[in-house]
Amino acid sequence: MPPLSGRIKRTIGTTIAIAGLLSVGFLAGNLHSATSAQSPDPDVVGIISEVYNLMQSQGINPVDPNVALEGALTGMLDTLDDPFSGYMTPEDFAMANEEFEGEIQGIGVVIRTLEDTGEVQVVSVLDGSPAKSAGVHNGDIFHAINGELASEMSQDELANRVRGPEGTDVNITFSRDGELIDMVITRARITIPNIESQVVGDNIGYVRLNQFSARAREELDAALAELDINSRNGLIFDLRDNPGGLLSSAVSVGSAFVEEGPIVTEWFGENDQTVFESDGTYAGITVPIVVLVNEGSASASELISAAMQDTGAATIIGERTFGKGTVQTWHELSNGGGLRLTVARWISPSGRWIHERGVVPDTLVMWNPTGVEGERDPQLDYAIGVIEGQTPGVSAQ
């Protein structure tokens, strides 16, 4: 496998946020940041400087240098018309990095922005979180935060308003089935559980991965060992609502399931591609594998699903995934903020680019969870049935 850059954080993901809002989907190559970049065209720098100096010297309104800087950076990046590139304020950048560390202060929901309406929606609610205790449901739409309309905020702005020190309250109005619901939620410090495992059905191992963090492969290996997975009748690998994470982590996790050959290709242009192959750490799983996905499975989750589907390593069950097929680099800037910049496409082993298309499961099983305690999970039930031979799908290998 080619070496990953040592200076840039490379992410595959979307922008859902744990506010504790967790954002749908990062994909990064490693955990290092970059503080330098090529100097832009001197004319561009000169014109920006000229405008700023005129604002200061002749404008009648006071100029806050930090506000002016952030406005200029945001405006420049907006011209790319790319929802996955953008400027992050120092607060945003710190918040995003905190997510990678697996701990947040907030209410504990995963969110995303709906493309057709621009509304910010709850994708999932973390177990044991303040949001769960308050009765927040999957699918709820943010209407207002502390009296301010959510429609007037970007997703990052909304996440920043929802987050806050543990023990403090935030007033949120949600829209649910056309009804407005007011809640006062006390923020907490939340440790994001990255992996969950148990035995389900007739001796079937179940592993859920919540994010492709730096320790995801280590945690996966531990879960498989604890389950003694090859003594089971099958494995269900749950990537539903997993927003993505680090590129290096995705390749490492993929290598557990794909014995040899490519996991993913980074495509920078026709004559500029980098292939990441299985790294030789195949887990030797001999039982049938089913991967669960839904529309909240983004970026690195889609990369793994596509690789396992292309190589025949697993059967994919659930709903069409989010559809993010690009790679971003993260650069830390000298003001403490960050630059998130799309630099490449990622391509599956069979040559698919799933951007705005998603990964289509081998078997579509739709489910719109309501958050009601004890509600049946038809996607998990179907996966169990596939491994037990009660529904069409995979057979033992």
Tell me if residue 310 is catalytic: yes
Tell me if residue 213 is catalytic: no
Class of residue 385 by CB neighbours under 10 A (exposed 0-12, middle 13-18, buried 19+): middle
Q: Which of 213, 255, 310, 348 is catalytic?
A: 310
Cβ neighbour number for residue 165 with a 10 Å cutoff: 10
If you ran DSSP here, which 8-state letter would residue 6 be given? S
Q: Which of 299, 301, 305, 348 is catalytic?
A: 299
- Output the DSSP codes for 175-226: EETTEEEEEEEE-EEEE---EEEEEETTTEEEEEE--B-TTHHHHHHHHHHH
Residue with tokens 């793994």: 304
CA angle 30, 340, 54 (to 5 degrees): 140
Tell which residue, 121, 255, 105, has the closest CA to residue 191. 105
d(CA 153, CA 118): 10
Tell me if residue 377 is catalytic: no
| Pair 122, 110: CB distance under 8 Å | yes
State the catalytic residues. 299, 310, 324
